[in-house]
A and B are shown apart, each in its own frame.
Chain A
Amino acid sequence: MQVWGSYQLENRTTYLWRVGRLMLWLFRDERQWFWSSTYAEQSVDEHPVVAEQVAEPADASWRRLITRSLSSQVVLAPVLPDRAVVVVPTEPLSIAAHAEVRLYFALPLWVQFRCGHALAELLGEFGVRPLSNTWLGDTFSGRLCYGLRTLMRYEPAEVRVCPGEALCSLQIQNLAEEAATLDKLAIPSDIMALYRQLVSPEDEKAYDMEKTHEALCTTGIQLAFGRDRELQVRVQPDQLVGLAAKERVTAPRVHLQDSVWHKSITLLKKIGEY
């Protein structure tokens, strides 16, 4: 069942969405929008609940927004997490010297709700499941990221991608003279985009697309262990790795040209030229 898209909500009616572990209720009273969210114990995985008319939940704590003009439309859009995600392979992963491999895993998404005139009002963003916090760096400095333990698969069709998740591809190249170990990897989700995946008929069968949903994938990540074992991560705009995209669904939160990372690299390049 397709989660993403536009919905018309009747006045004074409560609607429920369930994606992953996220439960989200929406209620509209003319220009007033009320919403409440929580995480269920169990994930609904392949069977999301979409705009189901329900009774008002008993002990929900509501938030409220009054829009500028009357509109009954709400849009659910998929977005990538707002912080980098540190992915830790559940099985320790080593790549032999001079080997190259492509691995795939599912990345949980955030659900973005918009309403109001020209859908300009952001009701909120909710992760389809709560991700734990993790720290990238030492105890003096670093940055707060989300943590995700996942099994990295060799074939994209082997990855179980539920609604509310996107397929992420990772190309690893080991140029060093000895095996390289990947303990963890920070995925810069803020500079990555989301795409509607182009799936071949064979893969479609493997994915069982009819039963599930329209697949989403992210910008590809290229990773290289240099000869001196230095790690290089590269994310290029609109470049997918081992996957094909029909179209871009969501732009990156931070454009690469504006990102601090890109600015730093550009500055270093400029300094290097002189």
Chain B
Amino acid sequence: MAGFPGMSAISLSDLFGPVWQPETVVAVAQVALLALALFAGLKICAYIIGRLVEKRFSRQSMMITRKVVTYAGSAAIVLIVLAQLGISLTGLLGAFGIAGVAIGFASQTSISNVISGLFLISEKSFELGDLIRVGDNTGVVLSIDLLSIKIRTLDNQFIRIPNETLIKSEVTTITRFPIRRMNFEFTVSYKTDLPALKQSLLEVVREIPQCLDEPEPLYVIKQFGLRGVDILLGVWFAREDFVVVKNTVHEKLLERFERDRVEVPVITVAPLL
């Protein structure tokens, strides 16, 4: 076999031969099997603990617990495997420390997200399944993770929002409380019989089963505007009836205005999703 001048030839078996000795192969296989068993056990443990937590607490607590158990368990398994392979943990941890400083500098944003995530989890501003609004995005919370939360928007888009953004932004949890109020704001002509209008509006609301009797609907004469008298009608409803109430109240109001010949220069509605 030709070689470089001055160098003796070294075969692959010279390099790796001792490693692939039967005892070594058996040891590695044993460690691999151990790792597999430990990971399987960890999965089962995480599942059982998650189910127990879900029964006693919420789905969100289950998800967080499952992740904590999985991450902590995986780290422990890696350390066990390394110890089994005879790799010195002291030296490795020292190396990790040095690497940690370097990685720390490089991943400030991620760490900020992690810390923000911890604050978010402890604050419990929203939970899995809640409908939230962050900036221009409104959606149902799919998962709350250490780095980000994931939401599904009402038009079925998947959005990842970094936790740091959430901490810095105004977050509205639309489904936090079981009932909500929808405000219908409109202007009526100065010629309108206001007491009769009030009776008529409250009658309209009473006729719609999804509008709550209690808390009572709110009727406010807001101000004398440029176009006429500004009126606010606040209707309480169970949060799941949002669409029905929004559509039905609009329909019935228009019908009533037409029936009673109420002149309405402008109609607007708030809140919008």
Interface of A toward B, CB cutoff 8 Å: 86, 88, 130-136, 139-142, 144, 147, 184
Contacts and interface: CB of A to CB of B under 8 A. Distances in A.
19 contacts: A86-B213, A131-B209, A132-B208, A132-B211, A133-B209, A133-B210, A133-B211, A133-B212, A133-B213, A133-B238, A134-B213, A134-B214, A135-B215, A139-B177, A140-B177, A141-B177, A144-B179, A147-B212, A184-B214
B177 A134 contact: no
Contacts of A136: 214
Nearest to B236: A135
Contact of A135 (B179, B206, B208, B209): B179
B178 interface: yes
A86 B212 CA distance: 12
Contacts of B215: 135, 139
A139 B239 CA distance: 11
Interface in B195-221: 206, 208-215
A140 B176 CA distance: 8
Nearest to B214: A134
Which of under 10, 10 to 19, 20 to 34, or 35 or more describes the interface residues of B? 10 to 19
A132 B179 contact: no
A74 B9 CA distance: 95
B209 A130 contact: yes
Contacts of B177: 139-141
A125 to B, nearest CB: 15
Contact of B209 (A88, A132, A140, A141): A132
Interface string B231-253: 00000111001000000000000
B161 to A, nearest CB: 26
Contacts of B178: 135, 141-142, 144
A184 B178 CA distance: 21
Contacts of A144: 178-179, 238
A133 B214 CA distance: 8
Nearest to A138: B215
B87 to A, nearest CB: 55
Contacts of B208: 132
A142 B215 CA distance: 12
B245 to A, nearest CB: 10
B199 to A, nearest CB: 16
A147 B213 CA distance: 7
B145 to A, nearest CB: 28
Contacts of A139: 177, 179, 215
A147 B238 CA distance: 14
Nearest to B208: A132
A25 to B, nearest CB: 21
Nearest to A39: B209
A142 B238 CA distance: 11
A132 B238 contact: no
Most buried by A among B178, B211, B215: B178
A131 B209 CA distance: 6
Interface in B6-32: none
Interface string B88-129: 000000000000000000000000000000000000000000
Most buried by B among A133, A136, A144: A133
Contacts of A142: 178-179
Contacts of B236: 135
A147 B214 contact: yes
A135 B239 CA distance: 12
A163 to B, nearest CB: 21
Nearest to B180: A139
A141 B238 CA distance: 11
Contacts of A131: 209
A223 B70 CA distance: 54
Given A132-B208, A133-B238, A140-B177, 15 more contacts: A86-B214, A132-B206, A132-B209, A132-B211, A132-B213, A133-B209, A133-B210, A133-B237, A133-B241, A135-B212, A135-B215, A135-B238, A141-B177, A142-B179, A144-B238
